[in-house]
């Protein structure tokens, strides 16, 4: 099987490439889609990026990322809403409905080396409430632009400094107050593979029409000094891709499969080599379980 018709290259995987190079590389490898990061889009220019991708005949599977919504002060709150509105406009301009949201950690944790946390800043329950409030403020704007806010549960290793949403179930609970067209969820294997509720919550996400994106990469040990960079090629680590991919398929997901790997050795390797490896691993570990769901007649 060499069917790459659902494989998407997330541009974070080929970090040394500009957006234009990533688009060209995806086309050379026969991939039909790219997942874009806002920094690469900003570099290339928004309108130009949209043109480059469209002219290449590629889909944009998602835009990474909005979020960082946990600020407790008015200024931080306003800045977050403003930045996320900009991200919504960028997603719409680039032609993707799916804006991935990394919601942010405990407020003071975002300033490394900063002063010790005031007591209230350790209140993770309150931080989650602020995320829900900010999502509520953003939903009407996103809906106007036909863009979906896609909540990303991050591995609990990032709960203090990056995302106070740690499980798919928690994201779906938050999403429940909003239409499925406006708030979705993403399954990124690196973040959720360990979750004992994973099968149930993937099925629930599908049933609720909120399964907006499937991102794959492996969990590697030993952890990198920066655990953000501890991802690896599918098959190199501990994640059971056939099983999780089957659950995602059974939930009715028929969209693109994005490969998003942050890892220094992979960033240091030639981009075309990386894309070839991604395609090979996708075909071996993911594609065989990526069946269209069986629908009852």
Least spacing, CB of residue 74 vs a second copy, in Å = 23
In 3D, which of 176, 195, 196, 197 has the Cα closest to residue 185?
Answer: 176
Q: Are strands 218-219 and 231-232 parallel, antiparallel or unpaired?
A: antiparallel
- Helix or strand run (H / E) with residue 257: strand 257-259
Q: Binding pattern to a second copy, positions 81-110, x when CB under 8 A? A: -------------------------x--x-
Q: Cβ distance 206 to 253 under 8 Å?
A: yes
The size of the interface with a second copy (CB under 8 A), counted in residues, is 39
User: Any long-range contacts for 110-116 (C-beta under 8 Å, 24+ apart)?
Assistant: 110/68, 110/161
- Pick from 85, 122, 145, 246: which binds a second copy (CB under 8 A)? 122
- Pick from 7, 147, 239, 286: which binds a second copy (CB under 8 A)? 239
> Nearer to a second copy by C-beta: 93 or 224?
224
Asked if 188 is part of the footprint of a second copy (rule: CB under 8 A), the reply reads no
Q: Binding pattern to a second copy, positions 21-60, x when CB under 8 A? A: ----------------------------------------
In angstroms, the CA 87 to CA 104 distance is 15
Asked if 176 is part of the footprint of a second copy (rule: CB under 8 A), the reply reads no
3-state DSSP call for residue 157?
helix
- Pick from 46, 54, 89, 160: which binds a second copy (CB under 8 A)? 160
């Amino acid at each position: 099987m060499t069917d790459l018709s659902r494989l998407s290259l997330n541009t974070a995987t080929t970090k040394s490439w500009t957006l234009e190079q990533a688009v060209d590389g995806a086309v050379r490898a026969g991939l039909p889609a790219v997942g874009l990061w806002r920094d690469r889009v900003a570099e290339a220019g928004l309108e130009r990026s949209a043109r480059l991708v469209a002219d290449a005949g590629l889909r944009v599977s998602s835009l990474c990322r909005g979020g960082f919504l946990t600020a407790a002060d008015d200024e931080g709150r306003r800045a977050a809403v403003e930045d996320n509105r900009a991200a919504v406009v960028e997603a719409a301009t680039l032609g993707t409905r799916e804006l991935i949201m990394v919601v942010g950690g405990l407020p003071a944790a975002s300033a490394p080396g900063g002063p010790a946390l005031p007591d209230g800043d350790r209140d993770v329950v309150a931080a989650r409430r602020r995320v829900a409030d900010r999502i509520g403020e953003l939903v009407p704007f996103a809906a106007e632009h036909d863009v979906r806010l896609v909540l990303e549960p991050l591995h609990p290793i990032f709960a203090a400094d990056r995302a106070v949403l740690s499980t798919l179930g928690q994201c779906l609970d938050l999403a429940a107050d909003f239409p499925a067209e406006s708030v979705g969820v993403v399954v990124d294997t690196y973040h959720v593979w360990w979750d004992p509720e994973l099968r149930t919550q993937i099925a629930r996400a599908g049933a609720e029409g909120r399964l907006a994106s499937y991102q794959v990469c492996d969990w590697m040990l030993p952890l990198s000094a920066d655990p953000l960079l501890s991802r690896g090629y599918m098959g190199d680590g501990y994640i059971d891709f056939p099983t999780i991919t089957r659950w995602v398929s059974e939930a009715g997901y028929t969209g693109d499969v994005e490969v998003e790997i942050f890892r220094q050795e992979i960033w240091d390797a030639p981009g075309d080599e990386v894309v070839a490896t991604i395609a090979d691993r996708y075909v071996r570990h993911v594609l065989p379980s990526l069946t269209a769901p069986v629908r009852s007649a």
